[in-house]
Structure formats: C-alpha cells, structure tokens
Amino acid sequence: MAVSPLISRSPSATASSSNAAMKLKKVATQSSLNGPEIAPSPLSMQNSDRELTEQLNDDVRHKYIKDKKLGEGTYAVVFLGHLRSEPSSFVAIKKIKVNAEYKDGLSMDAIREVKYLQELAHPNIIALHDVFSSKDKNLSLVLEYLPLGDLEMLIKDANIHYGVADIKAWMGMLTRGVWFCHENFVLHRDIKPNNLLIASDGEVKLADFGLARSFADPYLNMTHQVITRWYRPPELLYGARQYSGVVDVWSIGMVFAELILRVPFVAGSSDLDQISKICEAFGTPTEANWPGVTKLPNYLAPDNNHMVPLQGREFFLRQFPTVGAVGADLLMSMCALDPRKRSSACQILQHGWWLTEPKPTNKENLPRKSGGTKKMGDDLTRRGGEVDDTPFKNAARQLDFNAMR
C-alpha cells in the first residue's frame, strides 16, 4: 500500500477525521476513556434525538460552509464552499436538484455518480470528499475544487499555445485515471475534453460519472446509447450490447487526436454521419479487418464504391506528424476499429511513447487559463453524462451565469 497512488478523500485539513462514516465502526469499539472530550457542536445538540446516521450526516454537513453559487443547470446547482475549520480549503458543493418528473426516487445519474466516485480515489479522478443530505432531503456532493477549467477550454483558446510535451502530460494523466477506473471494473462511458477538469496544480481529473457502470458479467447486455457522439467508438455506433473498457480507449484516442489538431477529429452531425466519417478516416470495417462486425445489430453495409482500406501507420504519421512516429503508433493502437485489436488502458500506459523525447511537462508548468471556476460550475451542473439525444439536449448547457456576476 505504501506505493499506491491513493489519495485522501477529504481536503487536507480534515484528513484525520475525514471519514465521518468511519465512526460507524468506532461506535462499536468506543470507550469514553480515551481521547479528550470535546463539547458537542450546537448542531448535534439540537438534533440529539436523531438516529446515528442522521447525526453523522449532520456532522458532515456542518463541516462545510457554502459560499457563492458557481452555476446552475437543470440537474444541479454548484456552489463554491470551504471547510468550516479551514477557510482556505475550497470545495465544490454540487447540490442535485429534485427532478419533479422523475417519481422513482433519486435519479439514476446521481446514483451512478455517487456510487462510483465513492469507490474511486485516484489523483486523476475528481475526488468526492463527502456526501450529505440537507433538511429538504436534497443530496449534496462535496467535490474537489478544480479551478482551472477543462481541457476543452484550452483546446479552443487560440491564445493558448501548447506542444507535444504538454499533450504527453495531459494524456498520461487522462490514461492513468481511465486505467484506474478499469482496474476497478468501472466503465466511464463519457470521456471527452469538457469532462477532463484541471486542478489548481495542473493535474487533469476525470469527472462526470453520470453514465458510468460496472463491467457487466459475461453475456449480460449493456446499453449502446452512451458516450458523446464524436467520442463514441464504432462498436457502439453499430449497436453492440456487450463491450469492454476499450470503448473508453477509443474516446481517449479521440481526445488525443483533438489535442493535436485542436479541432474534433471525427465530428459527425448524426450517428449515421459519425459512422461514415469514421469509415472515411480510419477505413471501412469489413469481416476481414473486424471479424463479426456485420453481425452487430445496427451494422450498415457500406457503399461498395466507397470502400476505404484500413489506414496504416503512414496515415497516422501524415495526419499527426507532431507526435512523431511512436506517438502516431500509439494513437493508431487506440483507434483500431475492431475492439479486440484496440489497446487496453494498461497497454497504453506501457507504450514506448512515454519514454521518447520530449518528456511530459511537469504539471505545474502546463499551460493554463483563468476563468476556470466558472467553467467548473458549468461542467458540474450538466446532467450526468448528457448524451445528445436526451430530451434535455441543450437545456442544461444554456446555463444562466448572470447570477454569479
């Protein structure tokens, strides 16, 4: 455990008493003899007739102070907050809104997000410090405060210049985060630049687990309606119901390409258009280069006059010369049409590109942009894992930020 990259779940100031729920265990072995007695907080006193878990919840809630609102969407409101005990330790408090139309209790995206973030503690995954409920039974997620916006913001800003060393640093952090998810049997299923948030020290953090799920057991089906279209792999576009971690790897590849080109590499306007753009770019899937592809539920036979041969190394080298031959080779391994031939997150981490010059930039020296706080508010208020064809299509993105000005 000594060398594990696990990080504390709570902001530094409370690391020692961070896990309120650890008290569950401590209650069992408690003895009033040890430890200095401290007065109960006024809050606990007020609610002294409450159940143990309610008391614990109150204690957690009492740990934080909400400051200003950072953003509001249909799904959530995000506040800047800080630890009561240490005003300089910022957190983002994401309060999930009650969806009046959903009568079945807590919504699935909120459940998924909480379920997986509770399990995943890694430097490249947004930390969930605490969860608490307020008096009105609303759920609040206390998340790591990530003030420097997201990768999309950097890619789009023409005033920001970055090079291969920077891309290598970002890609390394992204891949480690995804690798950790997969090692824990979790598929993220919505990797894209605006879900890659940036911490104050430059560390990239994978966020938005609203579409995440555990690996299905063999033979069980999953939905193919996941991952934002431009980052969605061909097997999902063809309607595959059984898939693996390499769906996320395709998305990583698309982010890689986008970081290099500074525009999305295959940006289809519909699912069909997305398939044809992928075929044009990487080659037409056939039984020869992807055994079994024609059996997928939504497979469409290509126009025989428009068969594009499977692209080789030269293509990637020509399209993405800045990352060099080894980098192009890595990208190619992420963009294999046949999921069985695509690299796993672990294989990506073992690739030679990380060892070639230039070395990845130290995270402190990575290009950065101000105004990220607003962007974090924006990113976190989106409905978990929003996919283009949900009824909430654009609603959540048109956020009203006038409130915070």
- Contact residues: other proteins, CB under 8 A: 1, 3-6, 17, 19-32, 34-40, 44-57, 98, 100, 103-106, 108, 111, 114-116, 118-119, 121, 131, 133, 136-139, 183-184, 213-214, 216-218, 222
- Per the residue annotation, which of 58, 130, 166, 190 is the catalytic one? 190
Q: Is 172 annotated as a binding residue?
A: no
Q: Is 145 annotated as a binding residue?
A: no
Q: Is 243 strand, coil or helix?
A: coil
Question: One-letter amino acid identity for 133?
Answer: S
Q: How far is the CB of 170 from other proteins (least distance, A)?
A: 23
Q: Is 268 annotated as a binding residue?
A: no
Per-residue tokens: 129: 């410090």
> Is 124 or 373 the residue whose CB approaches other proteins more closely?
124
Q: How far is the CB of 285 from other proteins (least distance, A)?
A: 28
Q: Is 103 annotated as a binding residue?
A: no
> Is 113 or 166 the residue whose CB approaches other proteins more closely?
113
Q: Which helix (H) or strand (E) holds 214?
A: strand 213-214
Distance, in Å, from the CA atom of 236 to the CA atom of 11, rounded to the nearest integer, reads: 38
* CB-CB contact of 36 with 56 (8 Å): no
Half-sphere exposure of 25 (CA within 13 A, CB side): 4
> Is 24 or 261 the residue whose CB approaches other proteins more closely?
24
- Helix ranges (DSSP H) in 240-344: 246-261, 271-282, 313-319, 324-334
Q: Smallest Cα–Cα separation from 78: which of 384, 378, 400? A: 378
Question: One-letter amino acid identity for 394?
Answer: N
- Counting Cβ atoms within 10 Å, is residue 76 exposed (0-12), middle (13-18) or buried (19+)? buried
Q: How far is the CB of 245 from other proteins (least distance, A)?
A: 15
Distance, in Å, from the CA atom of 261 to the CA atom of 281, rounded to the nearest integer, reads: 14
Distance, in Å, from the CA atom of 371 to the CA atom of 368, rounded to the nearest integer, reads: 10
> Is 105 or 297 the residue whose CB approaches other proteins more closely?
105
Q: Is 72 annotated as a binding residue?
A: yes
Q: Is 373 annotated as a binding residue?
A: no
Distance, in Å, from the CA atom of 332 to the CA atom of 326, rounded to the nearest integer, reads: 10
Q: How far is the CB of 310 from other proteins (least distance, A)?
A: 31
> Is 59 or 378 the residue whose CB approaches other proteins more closely?
59
Q: How far is the CB of 44 from other proteins (least distance, A)?
A: 5
Phi, psi of 198 (to 5 degrees): -120, 130
Phi, psi of 397 (to 5 degrees): -80, -25
Q: Is 94 annotated as a binding residue?
A: yes
Q: For this structure, is 150 an active site residue?
A: no
User: Looking at the annotation, which residues are catalytic?
Assistant: 190
Binding residues for ATP: 70-78, 94-95
Binding residues: 70-78, 94-95
